[in-house]
Amino acid sequence: MTTEPGESVIALSRAPGAWRDRLRRYRVMIDGERVAMIKRGQRIDLPVPPGRHTVFLQIDWARSPQLEVDLAPGQTVSLECASTNMPPFGPGAGAYIDLRRTG
């Protein structure tokens, strides 16, 4: 990965052990735009301009909660995603994909 001077980085990892969606990729959305796809066990570094960004992941009709990150110039923030045991709709529905800040 190469970044321009002053750029920040969102380092996103996807847990390798989840059974659900093991052969499928999640769409990585930053500020409402699809910027990448991430597969099970993968880590990707996403250069972004410094400032506040909204991040979430999506697969079909299901998605993670939105997570806001505020990055200073040159800062890296680490996030991790994984599938959950929650159903995507119906009784007991919740976040289908977990997204959280690590480290």
Q: Decide: residue 103, CB within 10 A, 0-12 exposed, 13-18 middle, 19+ buried.
A: exposed
Domains and their CATH numbers in the chain: 8-102 (2.60.40)
What is the pLDDT confidence band of residue 66, given thresholds at 50, 70 and 90? very high
Query: Is a pLDDT exceeding 80 seen at residue 42?
Result: yes
Pairing of strands 26-30, 33-38: antiparallel
Query: Is a pLDDT exceeding 80 seen at residue 3?
Result: no
pLDDT digits (tens, 9 = 90+) for 15-24: 887 666 767 8
Q: Among 52, 25, 57, which Cα is nearest to 40's?
A: 25
- Cα within 13 Å of Cα(89), Cβ side: 3
